[in-house]
Homo-oligomer: A and B are copies of this chain.
Amino acid sequence: MPTPADGEVLLRHDWLGLAPAARLRMSEAGSYSAPTALGEVVYGQAIGTVLESRHPDFAPGDMVMSMRAGWQCFSTAAGDQLNRIDPALAPPPVWLGALGTSGLAAYIGLLDLGQPIAGETVVVSAAAGAVGSVVGQIARIKGCRVVGIAGGTDKCRVAVEEFGYDACVDHRSPTLADDLARACPQGIDVSFENAGGVSRDAAWASMAQGGRVVVCGLIAEYNDPQIAGPGWYTLLTRRLTVRGYITSDHIHRRDAFIADMSGWWRQGRIRMRQDVSVGLESAPAAFIGMLQGHNQGKVLVKL
């Protein structure tokens, strides 16, 4: 059991949130953070309960979200690195999903970088996933036509029926590019990229003049960082903007995010699916399953 230093608290982890971003650290290809070393704790967020506090803002029993809790049952953390959560507003798992880093990634990527205008067409890959489902729902709230790309008819149905997409196409379809083009007769103004690979290529072919592509994740490409991208002729002639981003660069937007998202949550305008497994030992299989697309919504581990 770790011991908190001055300014730190000791946390018991109640829920772990698994996210594809951790995959980027499991590689020597280089990313925005140092690779996780062999023997190190795997990176990840958790909702935890304060057991012991040496920080004036926290007392035993407080519930918090820790960005760098890791795949373990207890951790110590500096108090000023923690976000207090309000279980009266939404249950703890939601603070790892729609009201957590998944929701924040969706909010920043869509609104700050994608800058959709009411009436525009927004396409979201991994449309029913933890980030994608929030992107789709915010885009609807903002008055856009929202088209999803997801793996399989089940996920496409969930995207439309639960998350309010106007349409959703299956990325396994051999006619994916044509399917997507038909679902976006005015072209795509904002493409929110979670997947890469065939989803990205299909969206690229239908981008509208002045379109914005927001690159949040490339889950289909993490096993092969050498996969080529689409040609730049289209980028030039359609005046596209393509932006890769990391949520932590935009953390100053968290207050605005929480204000907006908690309002939408209270109004019932945001839904969230959870894919829960139990016990720390279930994390690796749940993580691999998520990277293979077997999950439905936010992947959580109940400890």
Contacts and interface: CB of A to CB of B under 8 A. Distances in A.
Contact of A236 (B217, B233, B239, B240): B217
* Copies of this chain, whole number: 2
A232 B209 contact: no
A235 B228 contact: no
A221 B225 contact: no
Contact of A29 (B32, B193, B233): B233
A239 B196 contact: no
A229 B227 contact: no
A279 interface: no
Given A239-B249, A244-B240, A231 B233 contact: no
A31 interface: yes
A145 interface: no
B239 A241 contact: no
Interface in A192-214: 193, 196, 200, 209-210
A289 interface: no
A78 to B, nearest CB: 24
B232 A229 contact: yes
Given A228-B231, A239-B244, 8 more contacts: A32-B239, A200-B232, A221-B231, A225-B234, A226-B233, A229-B230, A237-B244, A239-B249
